[in-house]
A and B are shown apart, each in its own frame.
Chain A
Amino acid sequence: MTATFLSSPSRPKARLKNCRRLVVVFFITWLTACSDTPWNDPYPTAESDENILYASFSERPKHLDPARSYSSNEYAFIGQIYEPPLQYHYLKRPYELIPLTATEVPRAKFYDSADNPLPNDAGVEQIAYSIYDIHIRPGIRYQPHPAFATNSAGEPRYLNLNAAALDAIHTLADFSETASRELIAADYVYQIKRLAHPRIHSPILGIMSEYIVGLKAYAQTLDTAYGTLTKQLSDSDSSRPPYLDLTRYPLEGAEVVDRYTYRIKIRGKYPQLIYWLSMPFFSPMAAEVERFYAQPGMKEKNLTLDWYPVGTGAYMLTVNNPNRQMVLERNPNYRGEPYPSAGEKGDAAQGLLNDAGKTMPFIDKVVYSLEKENIPYWSKFLQGYYDVSGVSSDSFDQAISFNSQGDTTLTQEMATKGIELTTAVAASTYYMGFNMRDDVVGGNSERARKLRRAISIAVDYEEYISIFMNGRGIAAQGIIPPGIFGYRSGKQGINPYVYDWVNGKPKRKPIAVAQQLLAEAGYPGGVDSNTGKPLLIYYDTAASGPDSKAVLNWYSKQFEKLNIQLIIRGSDYNRFQEKMSKGTAQLFFWGWNADYPDPENFMFLLYGPNGKVEFRGENAANYQNNNFDQLFEQMKNMDSSPQRQQLINQMNGILHRDAPWLWGFHPKQFTLHHAWYKNAKANLMSHNTLQYKRIDPQLRKQKRTQWNQPVMWPLYLVIALLAVTIVPALYSYRRRERQTVQIDAVDHTKRSAS
């Protein structure tokens, strides 16, 4: 007898079969489809040959208000939108200030306390105040914006909106009308007033209050007025912040002279003001724009000046979705500036003057995409989807190699792709500071100086740069980085307490010299000769995560050269700052990026009255030396000249001797760009560099297509492997389905008999 154990499978219906065929045909068609646009192109196909620059950002800019913004990632945007009166020449080095919206670089006029004019070479002690008259060019216009729109009667169209009118408004594009107006001097004065606005928290209010006449009192006036307004409003209305009309509050230090001229009045002499005039803090702000955004309901819809900047620059922000993308588009009202026709030596040979005299900007649109992680960012740059890239540690070996002379060059892979490299030493100094208020490492005694010098020799920053920075930096000889007036290269510029000049190069002194100094300081062999206890030094750092372990171990080893025990006290950056404010650190690591290319912006970091603990200034080491302070006061107000250089040399001499810092290093910036990206020159001071750049979209499209052809065979292989796996499984399944049970006839008989 035969019994069926499993039933047979049902036959597939014909219709289902047809459907399956259709799916297979569609799938194969999709897989083999040919297209000009690579499949992995993250941008819309229609944009593939447009004049668009593709860049990225890794975190959302916190502020886009020029009175508040102070970060390089924010300046990347607002630098293209807002136009301060001055700018840096794009090509010339050393950095040179030139007019942007101003007709010329303003020169100060000096006055004594009786308002009598003084000659240009008047002594600082005579000068009671300085006057800067800034003339701006007529005919400059703002980008289109609803704040400028007017009705038929010439009254502002959108400056008296009520809640009902705002119902249908969600973005600026929802306003049906936009308009523009001419830039006037009053806009610059308005912005200077905004620095004192109690809600804006401008980071430079403190500094500028020291110089701009009346600004400190003005801030108090605004604070009081704002408080009163807030109280009035909270009595009657919601909790929305009130609108403080700054045009009603005059400021002595900033006033309008005529439609195209404004005046800044400075206490004493402050030649560095012109550098500040190239920063977005001193950009123009139209009062009606601020009023527009201050209307009730605007903030609730996230329509704020901090989010939607309005300027006269070459570009305007048309998409601000920092969760995904930010887009700058050419400002249709931009006047157009000519590309510079002169630069520094070698610029012409590098093709940097090919566009001389042509009207800028060259690029129509810039798309910044959010890219948080390095790996996808780097991969997309290599695929041609980003035009320019930095070089992270992860990708350094793939991108950069060192030739036999030790110079950096591109790897073969990069060179084959036509990628080019630009490098520049940043106007930055990273240093290890001694707290001069500390009993062990601080103070002006010879003992303490010798201890600090010994440590300065022992900590080998050349090795640090080589190990941790892939050679991207130079060991600092002093506080001023290369490219800034006052920096001296060659034998004259070295720190004679730490380096010897050997074979045309600075060479760190042998460790024996450091050990000798340590012994003279009272710590022979790293042991305190008075107490017999080993010397312990506490190092405070904000770099305390697992990534920093190697660096911290390295520091410990440097101190071990002198038998000094380094105790590392890690904390987050906020707590680190707290420690610095209280002066409880002994040794710390910090850095400074220049605001402007002037030695004053570095030397002030060690100016006594700028001490962090006592005066809440930026002198984190709390260094105080009367000679240095006197020289600084002289130097800071001088124009760059041989006399100034002489003073700087003297100041450097004092600093080298006192060694309040270990003069760490100046980082080197490496930037890669593709062959289609033109006019690339590192300019670490300018903020409006985008308009100088040019791209060749056709070359980019061709390269992208060439580099990103889909590779299909692994996919076919996977399908084949799946098929190979499935066929035996199917066979096995069918076999099991058809399997039958054989019942033994003899057994059956036996069972029947029993």
Chain B
Amino acid sequence: MIAYIIRRILYAIPILIGVNLITFMLFFMVNTPDDMARMNLGVKHVTAEAIEKWKHERGYDKPMLYNSQASGSAALTDTILFEKSVNLFAFDFGRSDSGRDISYDISQRMWPSLAIALPTLIVGLLVYITFAMLLAFFRATYIDYWGVVLCVVLMSISGMFYIIGGQYLIGKLLHLVPISGYDGGSDALKFLILPVIIGVIGGIGSSTRWYRTIFLEEIGKDYVRTARAKGLSEQQVLFKHVLKNAMIPILTGVVVSLPLLFMGSLIVESFFGIPGLGSYTIDAINSQDFAIVRAMVFLGSVLYIIGLILTDISYTLVDPRVSLA
């Protein structure tokens, strides 16, 4: 397994280089260093000298990809791409264009993101699996039929509607929880209830339908018929046999998303005023802070790759037939 993991890590390097290159090109196709300087220096009384100075201080006055003025390897290394990218691979994210330490900001903002994402994932999984098993249990009955209809309706509604509707109903009309905001420690609880409920409800439609399909596929298999034939109750069949075997595809979806829980949600964090990494990224995009954008994209890619490796490892744990050679 160790050899497999090392091999996967080595595969990850060209992927990360590619992601970094694409991020770089996309960002600078939309923004120029002059744009970034103007955005940072403000609107009023900004002189051309100030713009040049700003770019020089941050290394944005160099050529983008190839420095024709330099000789030897410096032609490639004395460029914006190289200077802004090389430290990423040592996980040194450096400072944002406004001067803040990016690693420190990430370390501060990942916890609020996690505080929403983790309960949403756990509660969501419990709810979705429960609903899916319920529908599977009552398969081909009116409960199953109307349950699926309800799922389709729920998954057809925009996530934004859940957020605004939830804030309006639960926060504004019923006054049960704060509409938005965040606090540290145990005080965070009252702020997390609403986004977690909304996150869970928002995912019911698609996840329940998916899990139901998985369960139904399992229920139709021979080993389930055998289990029934030997006299097991439906409860035992579902929980002891079907659920266990259906865990492989469920794990695929869950484990891969585990590392990404740190990355936060762009919309939820923005609407609920949660100071997480999702809003950090969106703020950086809005303020054309390339240093933060590249760091967040890089981090997201690394976490995604970790998620995929973890998924492969988890296969070996839940399915003895799988081995990572």
- B-chain residues with CB within 8 Å of residue A714 when the two chains form the complex: 174
Cβ-defined contact, B175 with A40, below 8 A: yes
The answer to whether A39 touches B177 (Cβ under 8 A) is yes
Bound CA span A376–B109, Å: 21
Q: Is the CB of A6 within 8 A of B178?
A: no
Closest to A729 in B: B143
User: Which of A4, A201, A207, A711 meets B175, CB within 8 Å?
Assistant: A711
| Contact string against A for B residues 173-200, beta-carbon threshold 8 Å, 1 for contact and 0 otherwise | 1111111111100010011000000000
- Cβ contact within 8 Å between A710 and B270: no
CB-CB < 8 A to A302: which residues of B?
100-101, 104
Q: How far is the CA of A566 from the CA of B220 in the complex (A)?
A: 66
Whether a CB of chain A sits under 8 angstroms from the CB of B235 is yes
Shortest distance in angstroms between B255's beta carbon and chain A's nearest beta carbon? 29
Q: Which residues of A contact B171 (CB under 8 A)?
A: 40, 376, 379
Whether the Cβ atoms of B47 and A42 lie closer than 8 Å is: no
The reply to whether the CB of B138 lies closer than 8 angstroms to some CB of chain A is yes
Q: Scoring B residues 54 to 98 as 1 if CB is less than 8 Å from chain A, else 0, what string do you get?
A: 100100000000000000000000000000000000000000001
Q: How far is the CB of B105 from chain A (nearest CB, A)?
A: 8
Q: Which of B38, B53, B108 contacts A574 (CB 8 A)?
A: B38
A39 touches B271 (CB 8 A): no
Task: Report which of B105, B138, B190, B234 forms a contact with A737, defined as CB distance below 8 A.
Answer: B234
Min CB distance, B214 to chain A, in Å?
21
Which A residues are CB-close (under 8 A) to B175?
38-40, 383, 708-711
Q: Within B256-274, which residues are at the interface with A (CB < 8 Å)?
A: 270-273
Secondary structure of the A side of the interface? loop
Is A173 among interface residues, defined by CB-CB distance under 8 A?
no
- The reply to whether A41 and B178 contact each other, CB–CB distance below 8 Å, is yes
- Which one of B27-35, B295-303, B305-313 contacts A? B27-35
For residue B286, which residue of chain A has the nearest CB?
A59
User: A203 touching B35 by the CB < 8 A rule?
Assistant: no
Interface segment, one of A345-353, A365-373, A398-406, A448-456: A365-373
- Chain A residues numbered 587-622 whose CB sits less than 8 Å from any CB in chain B: 595, 616, 618
Contact in complex: B283, A379 (CB < 8 Å): no
- Whether B233 and A300, one on each chain, are in contact in the complex, defined by CB atoms closer than 8 angstroms, is no
B108 and A323 form a contact (CB under 8 A): yes
Determine if B45 and A40 form an interchain contact, defined as CB atoms under 8 angstroms apart.
no
A306 CA to B234 CA, complexed, in Å: 66
Pair B180/A206 contact, Cβ less than 8 Å: no
Cβ-defined contact, A40 with B178, below 8 A? yes
In the complex with contacts A371-B273, A372-B273, A708-B175, A70-B181 CB distance below 8 A: no
Given that A6-B233, A201-B41, A201-B54 are contacting pairs, would A729 and B174 also be in contact in the complex, using a CB cutoff of 8 Å?
no
**Smallest beta-carbon distance B29→chain A, Å:** 13
Q: Does A669 contact B (CB under 8 A)?
A: no
A324 within 8 A of B: yes
Residues of A within 8 A of B283 (CB): 59-60
Least CB distance, A373 to chain B, in whole angstroms: 5
Q: How large is the interface on B (under 10, 10 to 19, 20 to 34, 35 or more residues)?
A: 35 or more
Contact with A along B103-145 (1 / 0, CB 8 A): 0110011000000000000000000000000100110010100
Most buried by A among B99, B137, B175, B232: B175
Are A206 and B45 in contact, with the CB atoms below 8 A? yes
Please pick, from A205, A372, A379, A578, the residue contacting B279 in the complex, using a CB distance under 8 A. Answer: A372
Is A26 close to B, CB under 8 A? no
Question: Roughly how many angstroms separate A272 CA and B124 CA in the complex, as a whole number?
Answer: 63
* Known interface pairs A207-B45, A379-B171, A710-B174; A199-B57 also in contact (CB < 8 Å): yes
Q: Which one of B46, B105, B176 contacts A715 once the chains associate, using CB atoms below 8 Å?
A: B176
Q: What A residues does B138 contact at CB under 8 A?
A: 729, 732
Known contacts A39-B175, A616-B48, A729-B138; is-contact A71 B42 (Cβ 8 Å):
yes
The residue that B187 contacts in the complex, of A44, A205, A301, A575, with Cβ under 8 A, is A44
A181 interface residue per 8 A CB criterion: no
Task: Name the distance in Å between A233's Cβ and chain B's nearest Cβ.
Answer: 14
**Is B180 touching A321 in the complex (CB atoms < 8 A)?**
no
Whether A379 pairs with B233 at a CB distance below 8 angstroms is no
B168 at the interface (CB under 8 A from A): yes
Given contacts A732-B138, A733-B137, contact A375 B164 (CB under 8 A): yes
Q: Which residue of A lies closest to B177 (CB)?
A: A40
A62 near B40 with CB under 8 A, answer yes
- B153 contacts partner chain A, Cβ-Cβ < 8 Å: no
Chain B residue with minimal CB distance to A714? B174
Bound form: Cα–Cα A38–B101 in Å: 39
Contact partner of A42 (CB less than 8 A), chosen from B101, B176, B180, is: B180
Are B109 and A323 in contact, CB atoms less than 8 angstroms apart? yes
When C-beta atoms are compared, the residue in chain A nearest to B194 turns out to be A40
B167 touches A376 (CB 8 A): yes
Q: Is B98 a contact of A204 with CB atoms below 8 Å?
A: no
Which residues of B sit under 8 angstroms from A732, Cβ to Cβ? 138, 141, 143
Do B231 and A7 have beta carbons less than 8 Å apart?
A: yes
Distance in angstroms from B284 CB to nearest chain A CB is 11
User: Assuming A38-B175, A206-B47, is B270 touching A373 (CB within 8 A)?
Assistant: yes
Rounded to whole Å, the gap between the CB of B78 and the closest CB of chain A is 16
Given the known A-B contacts A304-B99, A372-B270, A737-B234, are A203 and B167 also in contact in the complex, defined by CB atoms under 8 Å? no
Residue of B nearest to A4 (CB): B231
Within 8 Å by CB of A323, from B41, B47, B275, lies B275
Minimum CB–CB distance from A298 to chain B (whole Å) comes to: 11
CB–CB B53/A198 < 8 A:
yes
Q: Which of A42, A372, A708 has the most CB of B within 10 A?
A: A42
User: Could you tell me if A379 and B179 are in contact, using CB atoms closer than 8 angstroms?
Assistant: yes
A645 at the interface (CB under 8 A from B): no
Does B50 interact with chain A (Cβ within 8 Å)? yes
Q: Does B280 sit within 8 A of A, measured CB to CB?
A: yes
Q: Tell whether A373 pairs with B45 under 8 Å between CB atoms, given A59-B283, A383-B172, A574-B34.
A: no
Judged by a CB distance under 8 angstroms, whether B321 is at the interface is no
> Given A711-B173, A737-B233, A369–B181 Cβ distance below 8 Å?
yes
Contact for A376 among B34, B41, B176, B273, CB less than 8 A = B273
Question: Would A203 and B104 be within 8 Å (CB), given that A7-B231, A38-B175 are in contact?
Answer: no
CB of A39 within 8 A of CB of B273, answer no
Residues of chain B lying within 8 A (CB to CB) of residue A335: none
Q: Does B7 contact A (CB under 8 A)?
A: no
Asked if A201 contacts B164 (CB within 8 A), the reply is no
Q: Which of A531-572 contact B (CB under 8 A)?
A: 572
Interface code A358-392, partner B: CB below 8 Å = 1, 0 otherwise? 00000000000111110111011011010000000
Instruction: Answer whether residue A299 sits at the interface, using C-beta atoms and an 8 A cutoff.
Output: yes
B221 touches A (CB below 8 Å): no
Residues from chain A with a CB closer than 8 A to the CB of B35 are 572, 574-575
Interface status of B324 (Cβ within 8 A of chain A): no
Confirm or deny: B285 has a beta carbon within 8 angstroms of a beta carbon on chain A: no
- Closest residue on chain B to residue A577 by CB atoms: B38
Q: Which residues of A contact B104 (CB under 8 A)?
A: 301-302
B39 within 8 A of A: yes
Whether A9 is near chain B, meaning CB under 8 Å from some CB there, is yes
Q: Is A736 an interface residue (CB 8 A)?
A: yes
Q: Which residues of B contact A206 (CB under 8 A)?
A: 45, 47
Contact digits for A57-101, partner B, Cβ 8 Å, 1 yes 0 no: 001101000000011000000000000000000000000000000
Q: List 11 A-B contacts (CB under 8 A).
A: A6-B233, A7-B231, A7-B232, A38-B175, A40-B175, A44-B187, A371-B273, A373-B271, A376-B272, A574-B35, A729-B134
- Apart from A42-B183, A376-B272, what 12 extra A-B contacts exist at CB < 8 Å? A70-B44, A201-B53, A203-B44, A306-B99, A323-B105, A323-B280, A373-B180, A376-B167, A377-B180, A379-B179, A574-B35, A732-B138
Interface residues of B (CB under 8 A from A): 31-32, 34-35, 38-42, 44-48, 50, 53-54, 57, 98-101, 104-105, 108-109, 134, 137-138, 141, 143, 164, 167-168, 171-183, 187, 190-191, 231-235, 270-273, 275, 279-280, 283, 287
Shortest beta-carbon contacts, A-B, top 3 = A323-B275, A574-B35, A42-B178
Q: Tell me the A residues contacting B by CB distance below 8 Å.
A: 4, 6-9, 38-42, 44, 59-60, 62, 70-71, 198-199, 201, 203-207, 299-302, 304, 306, 321, 323-324, 369-373, 375-377, 379-380, 382-383, 385, 572, 574-575, 577-578, 595, 616, 618, 708-712, 714-715, 729, 732-733, 736-737
